[in-house]
Amino acid sequence: MIEVSSLVKYYGDIRAVDGVSFEVKKGEVVGFLGPNGAGKTTTMQILTGYLNPTSGRVLIDGIDVVEEPVKVKERIGYLPENTPLYEDLTPYDFLEFVASVRGIGNGRKAIKETAELCGIMDVLYRSIGTLSKGYRQRVGIAQAILHNPKILILDEPTTGLDPLQIEEIRQLIKELGKEKTVLLSTHILPEVEQTCSRVIVINNGKIVADSAIETLKGELSGTSVVVEYRGELPPESLSVFGSVQTLKTEDGLYSIRITPHESRDIREDVFRFFKEKDAVLLELYRERKSLEDIFRQLTEQ
Ligand SMILES: Nc1ncnc2c1ncn2[C@@H]1O[C@H](COP(=O)(O)OP(=O)(O)O)[C@@H](O)[C@H]1O
Ligand SMILES: [Mg+2]
């Protein structure tokens, strides 16, 4: 479990992290979403004990990161933003090195199991410098989980990968998420939708949203209604409900959007209206905002 309270980090005069609080419970896979410069990497570096906060507190399974960084590092696997890999080493040698630094008893067994899980068996004896970005990222993840930590912190694990590699890394993260608590940062929205059950949004060093992805969509879903109908009814006649925008007209088929003047659910009234006019209502639904829209709305404040 990760507990972050009132975290603040200054770099000189720059307040990179500005009072961040959140929790990640055991077994959750949580997305840490925000534009570049939002403070994701800084927060993660503090969580993993690589950077001290200016103020605030981080507890990992109840252990204070600043007081006991070694204990915390035993519990956490960390994939930094730009994984420093030793280009000349093979993944095997690199992981052997990591195993010795971490004091892992049976290094060979751990390496084999981890390599299998991360899908790097085929490249285990090639030098890292010759590997594709996708494979390098797998080696980075292997390095992070070699000591079998229960908590994984991944900083932009799919940035810089091609679509196929992204999909592969996503699958791997999903697999790891079955057994581990995962916090992964990204500035790419679909990433969170695909991999995470909850999302924490950060902007300018502040948390601007923290909820289940579905809840977030629900909370911020618009009250606009899209209506598709057939008949003589001019779209303007629906302006009694709000402002009307015609999306499509074709052979007596209309598709319009009604945005109510005050925020309320007008679907029932619209339905009755059509019934009264004896007009053919083909479709009636509340417009769902995309995660993109939500994100824009949250970060524009
Ligand atoms: N080592 C550093 N020295 C000074 N400023 C930094 C340093 N690292 C990050 N920053 C600044 O802190 C802010 C947050 O950066 P960062 O945590 O890297 O955000 P993100 O990972 O969300 O892109 C940015 O304004 C960035 O320029
Ligand atoms: Mg970053």
Work out whether the CA dihedral 85, 87, 92, 98 comes out positive or negative. negative
pLDDT (0 to 100) of residue 189: 80
Top-tier CATH class for 2-219 = alpha beta
Q: How far is the CA of 37 from the centre of ligand 2 (A)?
A: 7
User: Which residue from 7, 10, 13, 14 has its CB within 8 A of the most atoms of ligand 1, so it is best to mutate?
Assistant: 14
Q: Residue 32: CB partners within 8 Å, gap ≥ 6? A: 40, 43, 44, 183, 184, 185, 186, 199, 200, 202
Report the relative pairing of strands 2-11 and 14-24 from DSSP bridges.
Answer: antiparallel
Helix (H, G, I), strand (E, B) or coil at 189: helix
Domain ranges (residues) in the chain: 2-219, 225-288
pLDDT for 194-248, tens place per residue?
Answer: 889 999 999 999 999 998 988 877 766 667 899 999 988 999 999 999 999 999 9
Element (H, E) at 281: strand 280-286
pLDDT (0 to 100) of residue 301: 62
Q: How far is the CA of 201 from the centre of ligand 2 (A)?
A: 13
Give whole-number Cα distances, 162 to 96, 158, 245, in Å.
28, 9, 39
- Strands ordered across the beta sheet of 151-155: 76-79, 151-155, 181-186, 29-33, 198-203, 206-212
CB-ligand 1 contact for 41 (6 Å cutoff): yes
Q: Are 49 and 73 in contact (CB under 8 A)?
A: yes
Q: What is the CA angle 22-28-30, rounded to 5?
A: 55
Q: pTM of the prediction? A: 0.82
pLDDT (0 to 100) of residue 7: 98
Q: Which of 157, 88, 64 is nearest to 118 (CA)?
A: 157
pLDDT for 136-153, tens place per residue?
Answer: 999 999 999 999 999 999
Query: Helix 107-118 to helix 91-102 angle, to the nearest 10 degrees?
Result: 130
pLDDT (0 to 100) of residue 221: 64
pLDDT (0 to 100) of residue 81: 92
CB-ligand 1 contact for 82 (6 Å cutoff): no
Q: How far apart are CA 97 and CA 274, in angstroms?
A: 72
pLDDT in tens, the chain (301 residues): 999 999 999 999 999 999 999 999 999 999 999 989 999 999 999 999 999 999 999 999 999 999 999 999 999 999 999 877 888 999 999 999 999 999 888 889 999 999 999 999 999 999 999 999 999 999 999 999 999 999 999 999 998 888 999 999 999 999 999 999 999 999 888 788 888 999 999 999 999 999 898 887 776 666 789 999 998 899 999 999 999 999 999 888 999 999 988 878 899 999 999 999 999 999 999 887 777 777 787 777 6
DSSP code at position 216:
H
CB-ligand 1 contact for 80 (6 Å cutoff): no
CB-ligand 1 contact for 13 (6 Å cutoff): no
Q: Which amino acid is at 29?
A: V
CB-ligand 1 contact for 39 (6 Å cutoff): yes
DSSP code at position 288:
P
Report the nearest-CA residue for atom 25 of ligand 1. Answer: 37
